[in-house]
Structure 1
Amino acid sequence: MKVSVFDTYVTKKNGGIMHFDILVPTDLVSNEEKVHEYGKQYLAEKGQAGQPLATSECRFCHIEEATEDILTDINRQGYSIIEMQGCNN
């Protein structure tokens, strides 16, 4: 399965930067509202609810082949997150 990757940067409440990718099925590539909703769910899970997440912070990057872990996440919750920087501190 191919997935669309959205490169995302969010300023945390403490001023630091979170960098993560939101991966969704390719049929959602043009549904930025849904992708942003998924990003906001992830931010809430990380204690960062209410931080801005819009087109300037979250942009379509590319399409790639999904791994088994990504497919499991998408089947369970509709999206997958790859944490890149500043997501766990």
Structure 2
Amino acid sequence: MGLDTSETHVVLKSEAFSDQVRSEEAKAQSLQVRGVPYFVINDKYALSGAQPTDVFVRALKQVLDEEKQELKPLANEGEQGAACSDGSCEIPNES
């Protein structure tokens, strides 16, 4: 895997990542993880066990579709705010 063997042994024997490991264990318990592999996507969806590629693809597409939200302008129709392009900015006249 490309890990330095002696450095890996030093890290495993130390407490360097203990807090992070305990935090992840607590999170896994709160999610009621009972086995591995277990994948959590956006803290919203979980895939448990060895799943085929198409299951991951469907899950990721679903998350992407849900995350894509059409941006709606906050200004009323016809109102325009300051606009910048090509290195210059224009502030509309307020009448």
Tell whether the structures are fold-level matches, with TM greater than 0.5: no
**Larger % of helix: which?**
2
Structure of higher RCO (CA pairs closer than 8 Å, 6+ residues apart)? 1
**Could you tell me the TM-score, scaled by structure 2's length?**
0.27
Specify which structure has the higher proportion of strand: 1
| Superposition TM-score, scaled by structure 1 size | 0.28
